[in-house]
Amino acid sequence: MKPIVLDEVAIIEEILHQSDPSSSEKSDAEIEKIPHSVALKKCSSLIQYVEQQDPEKFVKDQDLPQLRSLLRRIRLNVSQSKKQQKVTDFF
């Protein structure tokens, strides 16, 4: 009779082998797309959080400029993704 192994890694491997491999591949491939509005809001909140922290203990020299640069790139991406509507669509 084979001894029962109760370590965490063996249990996880057993569960993974029992699950359907095609369903796990699908779940890995399906990543929820984050809307621009959510990204802008979260990035702005992060910048505000970092600005409120103690600069000597928490914030590094390049943190805020890098975060602000990221926010600018997100805003640029938003403006580039907007589509112009035809004037005739309003009539």
| pLDDT reading at 38 higher than 70 | yes
Within a domain: 49:
yes
> Which of 9-23, 53-67, 75-89 has the highest mean predicted lDDT (pLDDT)?
53-67
Within a domain: 42:
yes
| pLDDT reading at 35 higher than 70 | yes
Within a domain: 30:
no
Within a domain: 55:
yes
Q: What is the rounded (10 degree) CA torsion for 79, 71, 74, 87?
A: -10
Domain extent at residue 67: 36-80
Q: Are 67 and 43 in contact (CB under 8 A)?
A: yes
Q: Stretch 47-52: mean pLDDT, rounded? A: 88
Q: Are 54 and 23 in contact (CB under 8 A)?
A: no
Domain tally, the chain: 1
- Tell me the pTM: 0.53
